[in-house]
Amino acid sequence: MHTSSRSSTLRHWAAGGIALAMLWVSPVRAQDSDQTQGPADPSPTPSSRPDATLRQDTPLGNWSIGGRVRTRETISAKEDKTFKGSLTVPAARLEFTYQWKKRVKAVVEFDVTDGLPNGLKDAFVSMKLVDGFSVRVGRFKTPISLVELEPAARLPVIRRGLGREVLNPGVLNLTNRQVGAQLEWQCLTCTRVVRVRAGVWQPEAGRSSLEQGLGLVPMARGTVQLLDTLEVGASARGDAFSAANGGVNANWTLGVDLKHALPLGWGEWRSWVEALVGRSPVLTSVPGQHFTARAITALRVGGVKKNQFYLEPFVMASAFDPALETVNDMLWEGVGGLNFGQWKRWRLQAQYEHREAEARVPAILSTLDDDLVKRRALLVQLEVIF
């Protein structure tokens, strides 16, 4: 036991040392392994990665290697218990990307931190078809939650909090990376960006019968750019072959969201807002529909260009109502923090979280994940993107 603890501590400190050393490598960029833009986009995309740390252009296509490393200290207390601390490496990722012209892109991303059975995060191929259409097949993020779709390196928060824990596998199982196939379309003649994504995913591994739709779940998402700085979206999911207490179309999810990024000359104001309502097979014993909402806003001072120093205070608010027909059963969370660093290169982050659970929160939520209770937490994290 003592030897294992010492080995774990040395591994964490080694990862922190690697992260510090990376501050001196060549200028870097933020990763996005689940690009909102794809090969069908008429404009240059981040997938071409002209400023990737390692990049090679060949007559047969371009490939690049990038990633990120995070080292985090978390001090937290659940309910009214004593504060406890832990030093972790929540992410140590490598991403390999191959792109042939603007027609074909393949991405494989690994995370070598503890807790992943095989380390695989993303593994997909995207191919341009015709007239703004493209197709993506493999393992990648489902298009339901705006905040979950946004790459962690682009969000100001250290972790996505209550909304992440509710939507991820273990509770509602609506988001995260799943195996699927997605058809994507972007209007090539519109003056503003109009994009639609629709496909099927298999949330759980294993074999399913034809009567159960082979275990596939349809999902769709559409976004429209209303202003240069504002984008609105809507998403839908229908478990069309669910057999849970109601049969066909018993479980579903609908969502609306928006995000904006307003340049201010000396910095930028960014926000993400989302709301999801639906019915889940996990909560079949709870009457009515569940509701999830989350909002993040951050004001950056500095960092107008890559590698410039900046300060960025941010706040996040989340709420989850497992049954709209029941009162006094909500979970909510407030988050505040500050980022400091060089824009799109590295940042030192501090974040405080306060979560409350009302008296009639369903017991199943506590048994599924013991983090879904009242708690307080202070997090400090160093992140390096390369």
CATH number where 374 lies: 2.40.160
Q: How far apart are CA 136 and CA 146, in angstroms?
A: 19
Q: Would strands 230-239 and 217-227 be described as parallel, antiparallel, or unpaired?
A: antiparallel
- The answer to whether residues 333 and 305 touch, using CB atoms and an 8 Å cutoff, is no
How far is the C-alpha of 36 from the C-alpha of 225, rounded, in Å?
Answer: 13
Report yes or no on 134 lying in a domain: no
Highest mean pLDDT (candidates 97-101, 171-175, 311-315): 311-315
DSSP β-bridge partners for residue 93? 68, 111
- The H or E element spanning position 376 is strand 375-385
End-to-end C-alpha distance for the chain, whole angstroms: 35
Question: What is the model's pLDDT at position 49?
Answer: 45
Give the SS3 label for residue 41. coil
Question: What is the distance between the alpha carbons of residues 32 and 154, in angstroms, rounded to a whole number?
Answer: 9
Question: Has residue 276 been placed in a domain?
Answer: yes
Residue 105 located in a structural domain: no
Helix and strand numbers, DSSP H then E, in the chain: 4, 17
- 173-232 pLDDT per residue, tens: 888 888 999 999 999 999 999 999 999 998 766 555 555 556 788 999 999 999 989 999
Total Cβ atoms within 10 A of residue 138: 17
Residue pair 36/231 in contact by the 8 Å Cβ criterion: no
Residue 154 lies in a domain: yes
**Strand-pair category, 251-263 with 267-279:** antiparallel
Are the beta carbons of 94 and 109 closer than 8 angstroms?
yes
pLDDT score of 136 more than 90: yes
Give the C-alpha separation, 198 to 12, whole Å: 40
Q: In angstroms, how far is CA 33 from the centroid of its own chain?
A: 10
Which domain range does residue 173 map to?
2-33+68-91+141-385
The backbone torsions φ and ψ at residue 26, rounded to the nearest 5 degrees and listed phi first, read -65, 160
In a domain? residue 287: yes
Confidence (pLDDT) at 33: 38
Q: How many CA atoms lie within 13 A of 112 on its CB side?
A: 10
In a domain, 9, yes or no: yes
Do 356 and 23 form a contact (C-beta atoms < 8 A)?
no
Query: Does residue 367 surpass a pLDDT of 70?
Result: no
Q: What is the pTM of this model?
A: 0.82
Q: How far apart are CA 275 and CA 159, in angstroms?
A: 18
Which of 80-94, 200-214, 333-347, 369-383 has maximum average pLDDT?
A: 333-347
Residue 73 lies inside a defined structural domain of this protein: yes
* Residue 295 domain-assigned (yes or no): yes
Please, how many CA atoms are within 13 Å of residue 291, restricted to the half-sphere of its CB? 13
Interatomic CA distance for residues 296 and 312, integer angstroms: 13
pLDDT exceeding 70 applies to what percent of the chain? Answer: 75
Over the stretch 98-114, which tens digit does the pLDDT of each residue have? 999 889 999 999 887 75
Structure-block tokens of residue 366: 């506590």
In tens, the pLDDT along 36-80 reads: 443 333 333 334 444 556 888 888 889 999 888 999 999 988 776
177-186 vs 133-141, strand pairing mode:
antiparallel
Give the Cα separation of 26 and 19 in Å (integer): 14
Q: What is the pLDDT of residue 187?
A: 95
Rounded-to-5 percentages of helix, strand, coil across the chain:
15, 50, 35
305 contact partners, CB below 8 Å, separation of at least 6: 343
Query: How many separate domains does the chain show?
Result: 1
Q: Which two tokens stand for residue 195?
A: 């994009």
CA–CA separation, 77 and 376 (whole Å): 5
